Structure 1
Amino acid sequence: MALFHQTVDFLSDSWANQRTQLPLLAITGASFTLGILLQSLFGGDRHKETVLVSPRSTVLPGLSEAENRKLPLPNDVLPGARDVATPYGSIRVYEWGPEDGPKVLLVHGITTPCIALGGVAHALVDRGCRVMLFDLFGRGYSDCPSDLPQDDRLFATQIMLVLASSPISWTGAGSGKFCLVGYSLGGGIAASFASFFPQLLSSLVLLAPSGLVRDSQISLQSRLLYSRGLMPESLLGFLVGRRLRAGPLVAPKSKNKHDQLSAADALTEELPSQSAAEVQVLSREYPHINVPSAVAWQVNSHPGFVHAFMSSMRYGPILAQRQWGTWARLGEHLSAQNSMSSGNQSEKGLPSDKVHILCGNNDAIIIKDEFVSDATTVLGGNAVFKFYEAGHEFPSTKYEEVAAYIWKLL
């Protein structure tokens, strides 16, 4: 057992230290040894729960209203909260605004619950929109199906379930269609969804989207730790959970343009600086709520978060090598649509004929020069770009500017 603890500490500390580059052979050998010696100790994946319930079931029961209000993520943090029962577990949805206003569905990132887009949502409602947000599986107050990969299929299904839960029509005849807005991982999810269901959308807005991250940007250590089969999943979950809970859950230091990214970067890049967190208003009911504290609470309180984070890193729409074909399908649809005669606009889907992509100039994950080149190529030139003087976290700090852009598009 002493050898076990030493090996775990060695792997975990080496991952946390981004300047340490361990040889592939050494990590693979250690992982293989752990897989043989510790499989029985960790029990593999047998008897795994199929649904890891959210803090809605593990934290909220028994809390008083006063105690709920003190939570870093109160149960009613946004208006129009509802919990939708599905075969995949319960999904937390928020929906409010004029029923006859332009409809906007917002999809958040890999780390944050949907409160990160609360500022954008409130600003859109102020302008007359009907908005809907939801917590992705394993985040916020949504359960986590632990026996399914968090990939395009699961995310598209979740979006459809969320849309179907609304008391008003978001997709039927006369619904006016809806604008789909995705941030970070949510941007990759939105691009994938749009490539399959463009006829449902009035427009597509991607905020610092994943999906075209080059494989060369990902560090060797993260590739190994998220590679399936090198060590028992339960051990991998222990290592990743330990790293995520170790923090620090603050915005990272500036990175050089060509520094490789680790899972820790994915965790922290969605978080604003402390000064920005202090001035952002994401919840009108709870003005003190901010992204860093909500994420820290989620990491420690949601039994499904570590699994969701790992599975999204492994299977989600993040890397270009997995998602190029998906984005190309979207680009081909737009090119074909642009070549059509005026025809019946209501049958086309994405009437704006462009994907609107908003990013930060100082984003350490979405590298401006690389991303613009890749997105322009794969979308066949059917993209419009706008950049803000900010990092990856800009939707939670520049929400008025983002909302103004979306409203002008609508």
Structure 2
Amino acid sequence: MAHWYSETVETLSASLTNQQSQLTLLATAGVSLSVGLLLRALLSDQPAEGEVYQSPLGVVRSAPSNKDHPLPLDALPGGRNVQTPYGSIRVYEWGPEDGPKVLLVHGITTPCISLGGLAHALVDQGCRVMLFDLFGRGYSDCPPDLPQDDRLFSTQIFMALSSSPLSWTGAGSGKFCLVGYSLGGGIAAAFASFFPQLLSALILLAPAGLIRDCHVSFSTRLLYTGGLPNRLLKFLSGRRLRAGPLSTPKVPQSSKKIHASDVATEELPSAAGAEAQKLSRSHPHVTVPKAVQWQVNEHTGFVHAFVSSMRHGPILAQRQRAAWERLGVYLSEQQRLSSEQQESKRLTSDKVVIMCGKADPIIVHHELLDDATAALGSGVVFKYFSAGHEFPSTKYEEVSQIIFETLS
């Protein structure tokens, strides 16, 4: 009897120990699962399909007065809000209706006001100009469920053009000149590689798209090549962008590595350059640094747009070389066309005009010369400025003269 009792006690004890071990394992697994789900919720960033991050348009509209605002709604003439499936787009268009048409596409950090001085100078020479805020900048909304790549940017260009009361692409429209600055240069080159028949000329100002990967720092490659969850990436980028002031270029020309923050600051002029800017003739106080700082703090979609453009946009050569080579093939074929065929099929200018600053640390001018020539062959002309990356917002009179001569 005692022996049976002893065995029973040992069996029960072993059973209880086993149950406790199982409970401990289950509890540990439950805690691990809970922590994993929490981290996933904190770090992941999967917006709902069709979701839109709205621009500050509604807030500014409801303000009693915006004359001293960093970016007044009427900073440029001919403003309109275009409703699209991707959210609202802010477009500006003015100038003689029968003048040469010029579409301007701005950079990764700045809203389109950065090209306001250039737009005014072109209108002074008789051009019809159009500008728009890229998604997530200025007063354009941001669709967070779509990557900011060639497809989205090309779609936005078509939506902006189609909102005009004039024909920019149809029969008898006379075609249009596409001017792209920085990221906008990469966007313009990619657009032109698919739709060259729509253009009278292609002019690129310090264009992205051919930046060599060797110049990009390891930390930037880690951040923007999918190595981190979107929410964490946006947090880190947002903290840097909001640190401010983003007013003075940070990268010395001799620097060999580019960080994401450098891309943001190099589009901005120095303090002296900002004071010299006349981007808005109705609001002379508007400058790029003030407009960008307001945008960083007030636009809910800006950080996402910046991060997505860095990750998916036409910036690095390894991602965009095919587009440039496709454009080069078109230019080569165009030069072989007979004079009868050229009228309907070729660019008004059979050259792509590229302007860049000799002191630009982001777009290194001698590397751009080599790489663009390799891709485009003899179909490219270079113009140089004694300036940095920001020259289109400070030397707009000289830039506009080159554009007008190209169109003439």
- Give, in angstroms, the shift of residue 344 of structure 1: 3.0
Instruction: Indicate yes or no: 2:229 matched with 1:224.
Output: no
- Give, in angstroms, the shift of residue 254 of structure 1: 4.8
Does the CA contact (< 8 Å) of 1:42 and 1:232 recur in 2? no
Q: Could you report, residue by residue, the CA deviation over 1:97-134 in whole angstroms, capped at 9, with x for unpaired residues?
A: 00000000000000000000000000000111100000
Q: Could you report, residue by residue, the CA deviation over 1:200-234 in whole angstroms, capped at 9, with x for unpaired residues?
A: 00000000000000011111111111232x33311
- Give, in angstroms, the shift of residue 273 of structure 1: 0.5
| Equivalences for residues 164-175 of structure 1 within 5 A | 164-175=162-173
- Matched to 2:206, the amino acid is A
Change (3 A) 1:43 1:357: closer
| Equivalences for residues 227-246 of structure 1 within 5 A | 227-228=225-226, 230-246=227-243
Partner of 1:281: 278
Instruction: Indicate yes or no: 2:312 matched with 1:315.
Output: yes
Q: How far apart in 2 are the matches of 1:162 and 1:139? A: 15
Partner of 1:81: 79
- Matched to 2:327, the amino acid is L
Instruction: Indicate yes or no: 2:186 matched with 1:185.
Output: no
| Equivalences for residues 72-111 of structure 1 within 5 A | 72-111=70-109
- Matched to 1:166, the amino acid is S
**Corresponding pairs, count:** 372
Does the CA contact (< 8 Å) of 2:209 and 2:315 recur in 1? yes
Does the CA contact (< 8 Å) of 1:123 and 1:399 recur in 2? yes
Does the CA contact (< 8 Å) of 1:53 and 1:304 recur in 2? yes
Q: How far apart in 2 are the matches of 1:76 and 1:344? A: 43
- Where does structure 1 lack aligned partners over 5 or more consecutive residues? 1-34
Instruction: Indicate yes or no: 2:127 matched with 1:129.
Output: yes
Q: How far apart in 2 are the matches of 1:327 and 1:149? A: 21
Partner of 1:50: 51
- TM normalised by structure 2 equals 0.89
| Equivalences for residues 4-403 of structure 1 within 5 A | 39-40=39-40, 42=42, 44-46=44-46, 48=48, 50-57=51-58, 59-64=59-64, 66=65, 68-228=66-226, 230-403=227-400
SS of match in other structure, 2:382: strand
Q: How far apart in 2 are the matches of 1:127 and 1:202? A: 17
Q: How far apart in 1 are the matches of 2:122 and 2:249? A: 29
Runs of 4+ in 1 over 3 A off after TM superposition: 35-38, 46-49
- Where does structure 2 lack aligned partners over 5 or more consecutive residues? 1-34
Q: How far apart in 2 are the matches of 1:299 and 1:291? A: 12
- Matched to 2:145, the amino acid is D
Does the CA contact (< 8 Å) of 2:47 and 2:145 recur in 1? no
SS of match in other structure, 1:95: strand
Q: Could you report, residue by residue, the CA deviation over 1:343-366 in whole angstroms, capped at 9, with x for unpaired residues?
A: 233321313111000000100101
Does the CA contact (< 8 Å) of 1:200 and 1:349 recur in 2? no
From the CA coordinates, give the structure whose radius of gyration is larger. 2
Q: How far apart in 2 are the matches of 1:282 and 1:341? A: 43
Q: How far apart in 2 are the matches of 1:370 and 1:325? A: 17
Does the CA contact (< 8 Å) of 1:138 and 1:307 recur in 2? yes
Change (3 A) 1:252 1:347: same
- Matched to 2:134, the amino acid is L
State the Cα RMSD in Å.
1.5
Q: How far apart in 1 are the matches of 2:292 and 2:343? A: 40
Change (3 A) 1:336 1:90: same
Q: How far apart in 1 are the matches of 2:359 and 2:88? A: 36
- Matched to 2:53, the amino acid is L
- Give, in angstroms, the shift of residue 253 of structure 1: 3.8
Q: How far apart in 2 are the matches of 1:301 and 1:211? A: 29
Does the CA contact (< 8 Å) of 2:88 and 2:141 recur in 1? yes
SS of match in other structure, 1:343: helix
- Matched to 1:363, the amino acid is D
Partner of 1:22: none
- TM normalised by structure 1 equals 0.88
Q: How far apart in 1 are the matches of 2:321 and 2:193? A: 11
Does the CA contact (< 8 Å) of 1:39 and 1:232 recur in 2? no
Identity %: 65
Q: How far apart in 1 are the matches of 2:316 and 2:157? A: 21
- Give, in angstroms, the shift of residue 380 of structure 1: 1.6
- Give, in angstroms, the shift of residue 257 of structure 1: 3.2
Q: How far apart in 1 are the matches of 2:115 and 2:133? A: 11
SS of match in other structure, 2:60: coil
